Amino acid sequence: MNRAVKRSAHAISHTAGRLTVGGRLLPSFLIIGAQRCGTTSLYRALAQHPLMLKPVLRKGVHYFDTSYGRGMSWYRAHFPLKVTAERLRRRYGARPLAFESSPYYLFHPLAASRIARDLPGVKLIVLVRDPVERAYSAHAHELARGFETEPSFERAVEMEVRRLAGEAERLRDHPYAVSHAHRHHAYLARGRYAEQLARIEPLVDRERILVVDSGRFFTSPETVYDRVLEFLGLPRMGDPAFERHNARPRAIDMPDPVRRALSAHFAPWDDELEPWLGTRPSWRC
């Protein structure tokens, strides 16, 4: 499906959603990040479960970060009808769960408070990855998409503090603003996972937050998948196909001195992540 056709189909679907918004579900759980940590792969594995109801046409709605000004009716219009959920409940004997995956939610300074206010009781899933690898992957990703103009990873990392200076504060002061740099150039900041989780914890009960090591998800997907289902309170139904999505081929490897410096940078935050995972992060073992 080309982009023009896809946009047209989405517009038609969303218009229909707005007309029936009162009869639509809100999500029971969200995959909120982190970017380049396997969120798409987990989303697609979960979407194969017969009791999982994904949004119409779009994996991530991005309501609580960049589209909050559109209002709750706009958000709700993205999700399936309650009558669909009721049919599934009668068929399978368990309540279906609607969900979406927007990896900027974890990092956006206002997303957590908005989620807590608008979706009380929602569960949150966070995937984390070796933050050094995440940063390198994010730079390649943003470069390929045209959102990054600096081809050197090392130079982009050096520029990050200047690029992001004051942007989080601006987003807090102007709730409907967007920041290109904050969303697309936060290579190191997005990898300080414990810092972001600490912001969420006072707003969402800890038992409603599941942190998944994506390294373990890719090496033992069945085990992690079962843990996610247990967290969500859903039975295992069938065997999903586990595939890795959105991986980008690497043109060159990261220089060892850069890797060592970044690993040292992230070490304190990796240590703080251990209580969330219940074990050492896989990249520190």
- 11 in a structural domain: no
The answer to whether the beta carbons of residues 99 and 85 sit under 8 Å apart is no
- 22 in a structural domain: no
- 87 in a structural domain: no
- 81 in a structural domain: no
SS3 (DSSP) at 32? strand
pLDDT in tens, 145-190: 999 999 999 999 999 999 999 999 999 999 999 999 999 999 999 9
SS3 (DSSP) at 78? coil
Q: What is the dihedral of CA 184, 149, 283, 263, to 10 degrees?
A: -110
Q: What is the CATH number of the domain that holds 263?
A: 3.40.50.300
The answer to whether the beta carbons of residues 156 and 140 sit under 8 Å apart is no
Residue 12: predicted pLDDT: 43
For residue 34, whether the previous peptide bond is cis, meaning omega lies within 30 degrees of 0, is yes
Residue 9: pLDDT band with limits 50, 70, 90:
very low
pLDDT in tens, 45-98: 999 999 999 998 778 999 999 999 999 999 999 999 999 999 999 999 999 999
- 1 in a structural domain: no
Residue 224: pLDDT band with limits 50, 70, 90:
very high
- 21 in a structural domain: no
First to last CA, the chain: 43
pLDDT in tens, 191-219: 999 999 999 999 999 999 999 999 999 99
Residue 257 burial class via C-beta count within 10 angstroms: exposed 0-12, middle 13-18, buried 19 and up: exposed
The answer to whether the beta carbons of residues 30 and 78 sit under 8 Å apart is no
- 14 in a structural domain: no
- Domain total of the chain: 1
- 18 in a structural domain: no
Secondary element (H or E) of residue 260: helix 256-277
Residue 57: predicted pLDDT: 73
In SS3 terms, 139-198 reads as: HHHHHHHCCCCCCCHHHHHHHHHHHHCCHHHHHHHCCCCCCHHHHHCCCCHHHCHHHHHH
Q: What would the two tokens of residue 284 be?
A: 């520190």
Question: How high is the mean pLDDT of the chain?
Answer: 92
| Structural domain range at position 53 | 27-71+97-278
The answer to whether the beta carbons of residues 51 and 94 sit under 8 Å apart is yes
What pTM was estimated for this model as a whole?
A: 0.92
The residues facing 33 across adjacent strands are: 126
Residue 3: predicted pLDDT: 53
